[in-house]
Amino acid sequence: MNKINRISLVAGLFLLGGTATMWAEEDLKSAEFNPITTGVTSLSITPDARGASMGDQGAATDPDVNSQFWNSSKYAFAYSRAGVALSYTPWLRKLVNDIFLANLAGYWKMGSQDNQALSASMRYFSLGEVQTTDGSGATLSNIHPFEMAFDVGYSRKLSEKFSMGVALRYIYSDLGYSSYADGAGDVKGASAFAADINGYFVTYPMVGRNECQWTLGFNLSNIGSKVSYDNGNEPAFLPANLRLGTAFTFPLADYHNLTFSVEANKLMVPLKPRLSDYDGNNEEYEQALQAWKDQSSISGIFKSFHDAPGGFKEELREITWSLGAEYSYNQQFFLRAGYFHEDKFKGNRNYFGLGAGFSLSVLRLDASYMIATAQNSPLDQTLRFTLSFDMDGIKGLFNR
């Protein structure tokens, strides 16, 4: 249980969802330290073990049940007609023991040609139990802040090699804190709506005598409205994100395949103005801050590509990179590894991912483990578990 007040709870939510790390003191004091802040940052947390073990990526990897988070257009190329998966992530267990992310996802391919699919997912991020106190340290109440999202998607093959998809999402964020020191007047939860637009391309080039697989994928996610905390006084942008990835699969031998993948991500969120960028001119700073608050989410997406005070150099720092590899034997046994990199002035999330999976005709179990490279990072040793069910496999059991 954490004793925190109203302000630290909101700030803590930003860190828990998107940039949970420990920064060096010299980085915090640097004028170059300028991370992007968003609302409902839990939307950016990887829900499934497979994606996490490959360095938090999945835009261009093979389709699986959890493609809704990474790139829902991949469902049109899914091998099975339907599937369901449940994932669980104990979050920041080095700091607390009651924060977690749970995610449920599924899809169903329609039509005689299996060229289109319906999909859905629901995620629930719990911040556990929080004890709020006033300035004197007296207890006000015990609250249970959480964030959740529910989405539905549709994907379709537009050709034998290319598919596109769209997903519509409802988002709810309930920080559950009191807006007054005496506990009177509770702040209501904030709602928002968003959409994803994505695409997936696959081809099979020949390398020597081997038929390989090369894929490309993109996802524009969380494009939608803003969320307003504190009765509308603190509006925040959703973590709108551009995801681009590619993967190459090479057959090592019969039943043995090796996949290498790389992915880049860019938050399409405008930077919040800082007083230091205005040479201490409070009036200009307040005007810029109000303009930032009044800015629409769509205009903010376009501005996010050219608003960094440090120019093009700082814009490049906002891009995160993921490298991953996956070995599979007969699509039944899997070993995975990956690396995620974020610039130290934009959050400093840098870590390795390791994982394994085992698949039968009916179910698959995946697990991942995170090893942070940043010293004292609370993300270190994060575990994820995913249990997937192949509905074709279940149907086959009853038809025997």
Q: What is the CATH number of the domain that holds 58?
A: 2.40.160.40
- Looking at the domain assignment, is residue 182 inside a domain? yes
Q: Give the DSSP letter string of 133-169.
A: E-TT--EEEEE--EEEEEEEEEEEESSSSEEEEEEEE
Beta strands 116-126; 241-253: pairing state: unpaired
Alpha helices in the chain (DSSP H): 6-17, 25-29, 49-53, 67-70, 282-294, 297-303, 312-317, 391-398
Tell me whether residue 72 is in a domain: yes
Question: What pLDDT band is residue 179 in, cutting at 50, 70 and 90?
Answer: very low
At 361 the pLDDT is 83
On whether residue 277 sits in a domain, the answer given is no
* Predicted pLDDT of residue 264: 98
Q: Range of 156's domain?
A: 2-269+304-398
**pLDDT tens readout for residues 138-165:** 777 778 889 999 999 999 999 999 999 9
Res. 26: pLDDT tops 60? no
More confident residue, 95 or 12: 95
Asked if the structure places residue 278 within a domain, the reply is no
- Whole-number pLDDT of residue 15: 44
Least confident of 16-30, 138-152, 267-281: 16-30
Average pLDDT of the segment spanning 272-287? 86
In a domain, 276, yes or no: no
For residue 274, being part of any structural domain is answered with no
Quick one: average pLDDT of 355-359? 96
389 lies in some domain: yes
Per-residue pLDDT, 197: 98
Q: Which token pair is 317?
A: 């720092």
pLDDT number for residue 6: 40
Q: Is residue 184 predicted with pLDDT exceeding 80?
A: no
Q: For position 4, what pLDDT does the model report?
A: 39
**Mean pLDDT of the residues in the chain:** 87
- CA torsion sign for 306, 169, 70, 206 is negative
**Locus of tokens 């340290």:** 137
Number of domains in the chain: 1
Report the pLDDT averaged over residues 33-37.
90
Q: Which range in 67-81, 124-138, 369-383 is most confidently predicted, on average pLDDT?
A: 67-81
Q: What is the pLDDT confidence band of residue 282, given thresholds at 50, 70 and 90?
A: confident
Please write the tens of the pLDDT for every residue from 76-100: 999 999 999 999 999 988 888 889 9
Check whether 230 has a pLDDT greater than 80. no
pLDDT interval class at 231 (50, 70, 90): low
What is the structure's pLDDT at 228?
83
When pLDDT is cut at 50, 70 and 90, the band that residue 329 belongs to is very high
**Mean pLDDT computed over 306-331:** 94
In a domain, 347, yes or no: yes
Q: Is the pLDDT of residue 127 over 60?
A: yes
Where does residue 109 rank: exposed (0-12), middle (13-18), buried (19+ CB within 10 A)?
A: buried
Q: Of 15-24, 87-96, 296-305, 343-352, which gets the smallest average pLDDT? A: 15-24
Can you give the pLDDT at residue 399? 64
pLDDT given for residue 21 in this prediction: 44
The DSSP bridge partners found for residue 333 are 329, 358
The whole-model pTM stands at 0.89
Which burial class, exposed, middle or buried, applies to 269 when counting CB atoms under 10 A from its CB (0-12, 13-18, 19+)? buried
